[in-house]
Amino acid sequence: MIDIFAWPLGKLLKFVYDMMVNIGLDLPRLSAYSVAIIITTIIFKLLLLPLTLKQMKSMKNMQEIQPKIQELNKKYKNDPQTLNQKTMELYKEHKVNPFGGCFPLLIQFPIIIAYFRVMQSPVPYVFSDQAVYDGVLKGFLWIKDIGLAPSAMIDGVMNGVAIAGFNIPILAILAAITTYLQSKMMTAAQPAADGQAKSTQATMNIMMPIFILWMGSKYAAGLTLYWTISNLFQIVQQYLTNRSIGKVKEELK
């Protein structure tokens, strides 16, 4: 099933790559392949934007009625059956689907996995032959080959930045920082959580960036570049959404 999405995404990346090569943007330190990853990631996020906005709209609607839900929880805390009934009536009255934020995410998930697979395996999805891929320039600023991990050695020189012989995975660090910011902003947009849920969210906000930092230091830099650009796009999008939610909160006071 993943290949259903992976093949067209791979063709899109190849199309953008060919376009960059044709206009002469294929330099040792700013390769057409790295620029194609950036542009294709932005196109990819724009294609998913309607689903993402639908998910955010659902979260916003839940945020709007959160004070009323809290009132119901206090009023019927000893009567779960009535609480469920009144809560469902509230959802129906305000035309809110409590699972509305999950459906767009479920639809996006296989597409995101497919794009991740394309980034991980450019052959066969992007370049039809291994020899063709091997001949492609893959430099990006300080990274000599985004097809390799930052710690990989190329002709006796580390692929990324090394200080005193130690690998400094700058792109992985940026990916971790943007992951943390994006998670914090998304958490701020969600309805207020109870103590246990809040603690779980806080743990995830710390553990996920650490995991991304580890992944970014071990796997191909192209994957980390995709993840970082995707996060930056999401941060801008989430910022605009949070501003809208903030205005709603002020109106409800």
Q: Using 50, 70 and 90 to split pLDDT, how confident is the model at 252?
A: very low
Tokens 């914090």 found at: 184
Query: Residue 66 pLDDT more than 90?
Result: no
- The C-alpha atoms of residue 144 and residue 146 are separated, in whole angstroms, by 7
pLDDT at 107: 64
User: What ranges in the chain are assigned the alpha helix state H?
Assistant: 2-22, 32-75, 80-93, 102-120, 122-125, 130-134, 170-189, 195-218, 221-252
**Stretch 72-79: mean pLDDT:** 77
How large is the average pLDDT for residues 129-157? 86
The per-residue pLDDT for 174 is 93
> Per-residue pLDDT averaged across 123-143, rounded?
88
Mean pLDDT of the chain: 80
Give the pLDDT score at 104. 55
**pLDDT the model gives residue 30:** 92
**162-214 pLDDT per residue, tens:** 776 677 889 999 999 998 988 887 776 555 555 566 677 778 888 888 998 99
Contact partners, residue 80, CB within 8 Å, separation at least 6? none
Predicted confidence (pLDDT) per residue in 210-242, tens digit:
998 998 888 888 889 988 998 999 888 878 766
**Quick one: pLDDT at residue 191?**
53
pLDDT at 248: 45
pTM for the full model? Answer: 0.77
Mean pLDDT of 62-82: 77
How far, in Å, CA of 12 to CA of 227, rounded?
Answer: 17
Higher-confidence residue of 249 and 156: namely: 156
**How does residue 91 score in pLDDT terms, banded at 50, 70 and 90?**
confident
Residue 184's nearest CA partner among 226, 227, 223, 239 is 239
pLDDT tier for residue 34 given thresholds of 50, 70 and 90: very high
Backbone angles phi, psi at 210, to 5 degrees: -65, -40
- Where residue 251 falls among pLDDT bands split at 50, 70, 90? very low
State residue 99's pLDDT score.
60
> If pLDDT is split at 50, 70 and 90, which confidence band does 33 have?
very high
